[in-house]
A and B are shown apart, each in its own frame.
Chain A
Amino acid sequence: MAPRFASLRDAIAELIHDGDAVAMEGFTHLIPFAAGHELIRQGRTDLTLIRMTPDVIYDQLIGAGAARRLVFGWGGNPGVGSLHRLRDAVERGWPRPLELAEYSHAMMSAAYVAGASGLPFGVLRAGIGTSLPQHNPGIRPTTCPFTGEVLTAVEALRPDVAVIHAQRADRKGNVQLWGILGIQKEAVYCAQRSLVTVEEIVEALTPVPGAVVLPASTITAIALEPRGASPSYAHDYYARDNAFYLAWDAVSRSRDRFAEWLRDLRAAS
């Protein structure tokens, strides 16, 4: 089935509901910020937010009270410091308590691959002897049936919705992305539904070195959203706004300044 082309507002309203498990992926590159902002504007709540690196996009959603639970690997502002809205939620329960399920990056990657493969769990070598399994029931030791080696099993990720941003789609709904590819393909393949925002919609996709094409049949909805990854970046379209990431630190540290940011975001709808 071909995806629907919709406005971002309609696509979010249709695909993402209160209480859903949502994976918004993009490893530093192509982070779907516009979709995150639309979730905040529509007041979505009780979400389980899944992401290898929560980044500023989840700091904003957590600060807005949209999340009940966070599934993640590394929750910092890359090269800058803490995500202070995330810390405020975990350390002081503000604006609401946040449940955590945390993994290493390789564990989370294996859990996405397992979900995309239709398997119940993924397997890897790291994690033995760490405290991670004591605090996350999705991580358990297992034994190799062939060699007897003790390995780490991670429960497959199966989000209700995956949200990614890509450079472009064609009119049939095939989606093309390139540059740092992250885990977007696996996120889309393991989710029940998927929403892709794109920089542009073209008649036909031309080849780009290193690009990945997600066939139209894997996508539920596409929304045209130029600059939809800003302040992260879209390779060959615009650069990462590192100055924004640096400046976010002061906004994120203060509940008042964050509330001001939130008011401005909601007013700009």
Chain B
Amino acid sequence: MNATGEEVMRIVAARTLSGHENCFVGIGAPNAAANLARRVHNPGIVLIYESGTIGAKPDVLPLSIGDAELAETADSVVSIPEIFAYWLQAGRIDVGFLGAAQIDRFGRLNTTVIGPYDHPRVRLPGAGGAPDIAAAAREVVVMLRQRPETFVDALDFVTSVGKPSKVITDLGVLVPDPATFELTLTHVHPGVSVDQVRKATGWPLRVAAEVEETEPGTAEELGALRDLEERSARAHRTPPAAGGKR
């Protein structure tokens, strides 16, 4: 089984959750990575969704961050002010996972617009909880596809500012330089060359003296990820059974 770059991205992100107590989960790739970690790498991890569900244990990936299964399986369900103020801002979150449309060399993120704000070429969804997670989670891990359009010299809009501990892409892993905080390539995924990563980066990429190869996804990791994503896609396409009343 050969993993795609996107699958390796999810698997590497899931591995980073080993040993962590909890994770603030966003939708998309972070959702898949966090749920993979709960199955394979860290069964006891507490998944916290911004819908206020703490300790959710979904059987399939929720399509939205507020699907009913999250509330039904949670240890506690709290309101929006409580999850953002008492949990996130107060420093109770170990790791926050974020995606983005654009990232710059210091790990700042844009999820707002491509092009000028008043006349955007592409209007993106906007901030959501990302600036809040970036500012308050003890550790921030960013996941996004690495392309010249996503790894840009200058962001069109600064949506989130934080210090990601790690940026995991479909090509490799970047970590900030301890002194300058500039992102530095430390790992390439199996079959990816350093040159390929440079070409996918919109600025002259800093590369570690020794670039390691990412440990390939194991059969267990890849099997669990594919099972989770396939079952989820099937469940999302199925309309709900006619409403049973309480």
Binding site for B on A (CB under 8 A): 27-29, 52-53, 72-76, 78-80, 82-83, 86-87, 90-91, 102-107, 109-110, 112-113, 124-132, 135, 167, 179-183, 185-186, 210, 212, 227, 233, 235-246
Contacts and interface: CB of A to CB of B under 8 A. Distances in A.
21 contacts: A29-B66, A74-B127, A75-B126, A79-B64, A82-B123, A106-B131, A109-B84, A110-B81, A113-B85, A126-B134, A127-B131, A128-B135, A130-B161, A181-B80, A183-B79, A237-B246, A241-B239, A241-B240, A242-B63, A242-B240, A243-B238
Contacts of B62: 79
A40 to B, nearest CB: 22
Interface of B: 27-28, 50-53, 62-68, 70-71, 77-81, 84-85, 88-89, 112, 117, 120-132, 134-136, 157-161, 235-241, 243-246
Given A76-B125, A91-B122, A132-B127, A181 B78 contact: yes
Contact of B131 (A86, A130, A135, A186): A130
Contact of A106 (B79, B126, B129): B129
Contact of A112 (B28, B52, B81, B122): B81
Contacts of A212: 79
Given A126-B136, A180-B53, A239-B241, A246 B79 contact: no
Nearest to B76: A210
B65 A78 contact: yes
Contacts of A110: 81, 84-85
Q: Is the interface of B mostly helix, strand, loop or mixed?
A: loop
Contacts of A180: 51-53, 66, 68, 70-71, 77
A79 B52 contact: no
Nearest to B84: A106
Contacts of A91: 120-123
A131 B89 contact: no
Contact of A182 (B27, B80, B125): B80
A52 B80 contact: yes
A96 B206 CA distance: 46
Those 6 A-B pairs whose CB atoms lie nearest each other, nearest first: A28-B66, A74-B128, A76-B125, A238-B243, A78-B64, A239-B240
Given A28-B65, A106-B129, A243 B236 contact: yes
Contacts of A239: 68, 240-241, 243
Given A72-B126, A73-B126, A78-B65, A109 B241 contact: no
Contacts of B88: 106
A27 B27 contact: no
B122 to A, nearest CB: 7
